[in-house]
């Protein structure tokens, strides 16, 4: 047993989650307009997908990762279209009320889970990091499991810290600001979607 695998997984999960991309923008927007629970569930959806990719890299599941990488063009298009749809929906959304927040909890988790899972660059990132640190072939299944758990909790820790930070400012905002948050975050997410599709067209 090597507890260092858990520690390394924590660092990897935190590092993978921290860069602000479409998932980060989505989580920030939901935390501001729908509350910390919806924001945290959005982050946990991404953390779950990170853990699945960490599982593939940690357990050396090259057949599955190769299959995903072989379909990366299709995945990028689907992910880009989903981002455009989500961004447009967010842009047109009115500030959410309390009952709407309850209905959005499952969707918040599922949407970020699918968005992260359809990003083939995530598995490439994990394979690169694991190989660089000599973790691609963990000593045994227990060590690999510790590594995957570390990835999940490291990623979840980032989202928890982000949502907690945003919650400090949420009470100071009004419905007009929430409406602008929707518009700005919607446009940013649409831009990420267009960029994802454009990279496929131009490659």
Segment 129-133 long-range contacts (CB within 8 Å, at least 24 positions apart) = 129/12, 129/15, 129/16, 129/57, 130/12, 130/57, 130/58, 133/8, 133/12
pLDDT in tens, 14-23: 888 887 788 8
Q: Is residue 137 part of a domain?
A: yes
- Taking alpha carbons only, the member of 165, 171, 156, 191 closest to residue 28 is 165
pLDDT in tens, 141-179: 777 788 888 889 999 999 999 899 888 887 777 667 777
Count CA atoms within 13 Å of residue 65 on its CB side: 20
Q: Is residue 51 part of a domain?
A: yes
Q: Is residue 180 part of a domain?
A: no
Q: Is residue 162 part of a domain?
A: yes
Average pLDDT over every residue of 120-148 = 67
Given a cut of 80, is residue 127 above it in pLDDT? no
* CA-to-CA separations, 92 to 18, 96, 166, 177, in angstroms, rounded: 28, 12, 22, 14
Q: Is residue 185 part of a domain?
A: no
Q: Report the domain count for the chain.
A: 1
Q: What pTM does this model have?
A: 0.74
pLDDT > 70 fraction of the chain, expressed in percent and rounded: 75
Write the secondary structure of 121-180 as one string of H (helix), E (strand) and C (coil): HHHHHHHHHHHHCCCCCCCCHHHHHHHHHHHHHHHHHHHHHHHHHHHHHHCCCCHHHHHH
Q: Is residue 178 part of a domain?
A: no
pLDDT in tens, 63-114: 555 665 667 777 778 878 888 888 888 787 765 544 444 456 788 899 899 8
Which structural domain range is residue 24 located in?
4-75+92-171
């Amino acid at each position: 047993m090597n507890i260092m695998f858990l520690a390394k997984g924590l660092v990897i999960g935190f590092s993978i989650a921290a860069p602000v991309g479409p998932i980060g923008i989505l989580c920030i927007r939901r935390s501001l307009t729908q509350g910390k629970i919806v924001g945290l569930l959005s982050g946990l959806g991404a953390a779950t997908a990170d853990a699945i990719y960490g599982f593939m890299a940690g357990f050396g599941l090259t057949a599955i990762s190769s299959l995903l990488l072989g379909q990366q063009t299709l995945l990028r298009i689907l992910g880009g279209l989903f981002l455009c749809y989500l961004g447009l929906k967010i842009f047109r959304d009115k500030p959410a009320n309390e009952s709407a927040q309850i209905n959005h909890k499952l969707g918040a988790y599922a949407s970020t889970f699918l968005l992260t899972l359809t990003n083939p660059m995530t598995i490439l990132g994990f394979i690169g990091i694991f190989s660089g640190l000599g973790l691609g072939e963990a000593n045994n299944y227990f060590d690999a499991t510790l590594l995957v758990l570390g990835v999940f909790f490291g990623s979840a820790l980032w989202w928890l810290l982000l949502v907690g930070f945003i919650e400090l400012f949420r009470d100071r905002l009004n419905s007009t600001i929430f409406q602008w948050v929707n518009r700005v975050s919607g446009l940013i997410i649409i831009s990420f979607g267009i960029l994802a599709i454009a990279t496929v067209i131009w490659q």
